[in-house]
Chains A and B, each alone.
Chain A
Amino acid sequence: MKQQKRSGGKEGPSKSHSDIRRKASDGDAVVMTAMEFKEFVRSNGVEKAAREVDLVTTATFGAMCSSGAYFNVGHSDPPIKMQRAWLDGVPAYAGLAAVDIFLGATELDETNNMLHGGAHVIEDLVRGKAVRLRATAHGTDCYPLREIDTYVSLKTMNQAVLMSPRNAYQNYVAATNSSAKTLYTYMGKLLPEFGNATYSCAGELSPLLNDPYYRTIGIGSRIFLGGGDGFVVWEGTQFNPGVARTPRGVPKRPSGSLAVIGDLKQMTGDFVKGLTFTRYGASLGIGIGVPIPIIDEDMANACSITNDKIVTGLFDYAQQRRSRPCLRDVTYEELSSGEIEVEGKTVPTSPLSSIYKARQIAEILKKRILKGEFEVTEPVQRLPMDRPLRPLEVRSEKEAMQ
């Protein structure tokens, strides 16, 4: 793996993160959405933007499969140490103490209903609905109850916390289908013979594409998560900063990602949405917004990135292998134009990521910062630049330890 070096922080005058935070808490910060900032740079240049703008709000809204929530549902009388648990028929992981359970977004209803999964239960809870909780247990001297069937809601639960191992991917691939049959994938319905192409990234609005070397977004960053406040808690799974980058440092393939946490009780159904991908299953649509402090000219330059300068690869999902051939590199400007050229054919494109909602989030976050309702934080630890991405092979015990 090629190790990437962080760049930046060398050009022009700089403002410290704490100066920006102080200005924000005093209500004196100049805050712009990513859309406004790019326009400002186009008209006024990077130098002026770095001098005059303090914070830029970036955002994304899309299907984020590696999401989930944990709950403490409270103790029953007599008490139970739940071994197996279901929320509205969707299995939740109960191997955590007695009444802590974790519900994964892509877990499916046990009645073999692929239209209903953990993501839909999470949305129902956020919308204030009661969901049926069933649990079974072995029964112990300290937890004698062996079965319970009841209802819970966000009002009855002690903690209800969204905890996603991988959200806000820094770039993602585009998908198409060369085969003669329709493919149903997590990238949507892919029509035969290059009938369409889909992509799943907010492009120039996306948080990590505006901070490609993770100079300001890190562990401890407060973020907008599903309508409420959340935090970046770790690098996201499959964090892979070593992929090829453009001359401006923007990854050309899926790269970094964020593990995030936030109180489900603060969230809203507008930004937490159960999604169904036919014959794939459930996924959770989540809205995430991240403020980026413009600490220097390099940061201003990074946040001025536009869709014509962000590249991803178009892959053929007819190849059902880990490594699919890349048909071509394509910019988000081309993808968002509605059609691209693939092997001599004009192919219509569809986003999976809602730019409409991402823009809404960037606006809301800006307003919250200006009103003093959202406190900007400085990361307590930076995200790594040296993580290889390892595959899963069938190995011997000895090989696995090498």
Chain B
Amino acid sequence: MKTKLVLNFNPEASNRPITHDLIAKHGLLVNILRAEIDEVGGKMVIEVSGKAESIKNGIDYLKDSGVGVRPIKEGVRRDDDACIHCGVCISICPTNALTLDRKTRKVVFIEEKCVACGVCIDACPPRAMEILI
């Protein structure tokens, strides 16, 4: 199975090799979608894939390490009323989560493909895209 997690950690936890441990000790595939760090700590958005039990153990390990863990269902939301279906976003989305339906010419947002990188947010002329993490 696959799940997306938002990790919040304080400066102490920032020094621990948590991604390495998730991979090496818990056998998970880790894809880092976003990472930010500053003087008060850090935030990471990761997608982990592996067996359900390994993911549970990995989350427990993170919590034991003092890392705040929050699973996310959606990272970016589209306001369907605001979208004008122009298509500006389709060529900048790195994962093709935003595509133009060739028949209807509507912009389709495939949330499963979205990695919440946020490049579409400030590219959208009617400001229909919102990042939630």
Interface pair B86/A278, CB less than 8 Å apart: no
Cα–Cα distance between A332 and B105 once the two chains are bound (Å): 14
Interface pair A354/B122, CB less than 8 Å apart: no
Minimum CB–CB distance from A200 to chain B (whole Å) comes to 9
B88 at the interface (CB under 8 A from A): yes
Indicate whether A276 sits within 8 Å of B125 (C-beta atoms), given known contacts A285-B84, A357-B85, A359-B105. Answer: yes
B126 at the interface (CB under 8 A from A): yes
Pick the contact of B91 from A61, A349, A355 — CB < 8 Å?
A349
Interface pair B87/A357, CB less than 8 Å apart: no
Interface pair A356/B85, CB less than 8 Å apart: yes
**Interface residues as binary, A323-355 with B (CB distance below 8 Å gives 1, 0 otherwise):** 000000000000000100000000011111111
Interface pair A348/B90, CB less than 8 Å apart: yes
Cα–Cα distance between A222 and B92 once the two chains are bound (Å): 38
- What chain A residues lie within 8 Å of B15 (beta carbons)? none
Q: Nearest chain-B residue to A271 (Cβ)?
A: B84
Interface pair A350/B89, CB less than 8 Å apart: yes
Minimum CB–CB distance from A217 to chain B (whole Å) comes to 24
B56 at the interface (CB under 8 A from A): no
Interface pair A197/B91, CB less than 8 Å apart: yes
A262 at the interface (CB under 8 A from B): no
A214 at the interface (CB under 8 A from B): no
Pick the contact of B92 from A273, A350, A352 — CB < 8 Å?
A350
- What chain A residues lie within 8 Å of B105 (beta carbons)? 354-356, 359
Please name 6 further chain A to chain B contacts, defined as beta carbons within 8 Å, in addition to the given A275-B125, A352-B125, sorted by A numbering.
A189-B88, A278-B123, A283-B125, A338-B90, A350-B90, A352-B86
Interface residues of B (CB under 8 A from A): 84-92, 100, 104-106, 119, 122-123, 125-127
Q: What are 12 of the A-B contact pairs (CB < 8 Å)? A: A188-B123, A191-B92, A196-B91, A275-B125, A276-B126, A348-B90, A348-B91, A354-B84, A354-B105, A356-B84, A356-B85, A356-B104
